[in-house]
Structure 1
Amino acid sequence: MKAVGIVVEYNPFHNGHAYHLQQSRQISDADIVIAVMSGQFLQRGEPALLPKWQRAKMALSAGVDIVIELPYQFATQKADTFAFGAVSLLSQIGASILCFGSESGEIEHFYHTLQFLKNNKEKYEERIKLNMAQGMSYPSATSSAFLELDPSEKIIDLSKPNNILGFQYVKAINDLGINMRPITIPRTKAGYHDERFSSETIASATSIRKSLFTTGGSLSEINSYIPNTTAAILDDYYRTYKQFQRWENYWPFLKYRLLHASGTELRNIYEVEEGLENRVIEAALAANSFKDFMSIVKTKRYTWTRLQRMCTHILTNTTFDEMNEIMKEANYIRLLGMNDNGRKYLNQWKKHASIPLVSKLSSYHGDDIKLDIRASRVYALGAKEEMTQELLQMEYKQPPFYMTN
């Protein structure tokens, strides 16, 4: 059975994702679609709107055949590490094709860009260092360095978020030396970070989340942008838990961590560097909310996303040592859900699998899954008090979703 892989967060699943899913299956002519999906915390350093289990159910309801989890050590990282983890997992589970959305929409342009940067590696890296020395953030420094090299028209625009991720997927495939064919489809109508609705049927996840938060969980503004199955899952979750998860829910816990820890302790946390430990402690003393805190901490050098990721690691107490220890190819695949076709595929794959498929935590004793467990425990703290225990137990008791075709 031929499998195409997609890398997703589904925060939440919307019509643009449905289009990507349909195109991935059609263009690749694959029998199976495998989604590797971020867990409780996401690449931009945010808690997911709702838990990984509900988002996996959204994916299966829309037609994904298998959903596996992208481990914390990859899911909460900058683009290159995020992409490396996702591509390596999809390779391990047998996906021979990777389909991603991009602003470019031309896969050959990604190959041209990869070769262009290889040919100009020293100049590129030197200009990144110079730009960062002038106070630029890393994304701005890399984008500026790239433009300074005067790329040709066949080179992708690496200032665009989906192009950046797509380039890193192609680079990861190349670096890993695996037999996987990347394909891309153009992202249209709604930009990745768009906060407003600009189309009748397609909207960014950012604008959908903003609507949910500003309307108190009402789906009235977003119904035309999400499938009915997503609407039902969002509605059920909000009725049960009385809120969606966001950073403000975790602010008391983050503030406690910042005011309780010493500067030395914080310096050991992953991504706390260059004196940031002093800045975040001072900001925590002054701030009344997470938004206030971020506004105080934010500088030209550090992007909002970079700082949110740092806060996520502080919240989960993830150190440099433990992150660097396991930030390699994952040694397990955590199964979140499957349908009939997915089960048939996995039954065949398991006969020659090189790493274990984890469907129950009790069946896997590897130390490298500890960050996922800790992230889920911390994530549960953001729920209303009466529902926290249920979310805590879900990590251990929730079996992978099984959906009949």
Structure 2
Amino acid sequence: MTFLNEIVAEFPDAISFAPGAPYEPFFADITVGPLLDTFVEARRAAGLSEDEVRRHLFQYGPSRGIINDLVAAALRVDEAIDVPPDAIVMTVGCQEALFLTLRVLHPPGASLAVTDPSYVGVLAAADSLDIAVHPVPDDGTGPDLAALRRASERERAAGRRLRALYVSPDFANPTGNRLTLAARQRLLATASALDLILIEDNPYAFTAASDDRLPSLKALDRDGRVVHTGTFAKVAVPGARVGYVVADQWVERRPGPPVRLAAMIAAAKNAVTLNTSPLAQALIGGLLLRHGGSIAALGAPKAARLRDNRDVLLDRLAHHFGEPDQPGAGVRWWAPEGGYFVQVELPVEADDALLRYSAEAFGVLWTPMRGFHLGPGGERRIRLSCSALEHEEIVEGAARLADFVDAL
């Protein structure tokens, strides 16, 4: 990621399919003062005094957060995830949500399974916590459940425990894959049989059309198997750095009564960031209130733009390289149903040196996929992100990519 940031800065005139960043013109409508006023007015209407509202915004806040009630209500309406506010912890982006969840769920001797390829952030978090990671192949239809069972059996035979599986069921980073409803149900059943927690990372589900939404794993969970993480980076403002984790499971503790897993995550947060910025939370709270308390409504215009961008990119890839998922073609590519990302397989290895050549000679940037893989499989694949570009940039960038491929 450091290399990608450096090369994007080094070639500012290149068309960049590299970053998974939101479309910046959406920020033009973000006015911080009025949004904070909206949040403050709602808190006053709920009965808080002037001093209490001021304290909420400007003092150290509770580790759990100050907009948990708004997030719980939105998840109930938008996702059919029905949990109380105290089952939610507001975090510094989804990255902290993942880090804290891994920290709490993985005592010494417990290991983590991840879909392979996987989001680099969860791999980095596991590495920093010294958690052993087991890759579970994903061929586009979901994690290989037989491989997951074998990993669990190996850990048990060695006197250890496979504690959780990280999975992104909707338009995953980097592949763009989405699990079918049947695949979600099979995964939940397997998690129950293996006594696994599923860590659901779902930042891209909002990009589906309203008539094409699938229930999240958490919405389908009837056995307390799913810890759900989310972020307002994609649907709102990444600079606010506000995410959340839904952890409503009850955990037995001796001595003392059972506590929610969220309480343990909040306690761990005390050792990391104490609390998520109340001002940043209030900004997000104001945005939610302006959109009827709905995350889906907040994300709808962004999702429509993303679908348009994806359609333009897929059309251009088909124009230059033929139909998607054609084995044996010089360039093979896959058409996702939503999200930010499209994966393309080149006829040669896609390493950092090739990326630099692409930037210098053809003025187009992309992301090598090898960094997302724990095992082999990503050597010749690249990730294209269309989220932050104008349509004409996508058209020109695809043409430059085709020229680059012709020169290989």
Provide the TM-score with structure 2 as the length reference.
Answer: 0.28
Higher helix share: 1
Point out the structure with max Rg over C-alpha.
2
Which structure features the higher share of strand residues? 2
Normalization by structure 1: what TM-score? 0.28
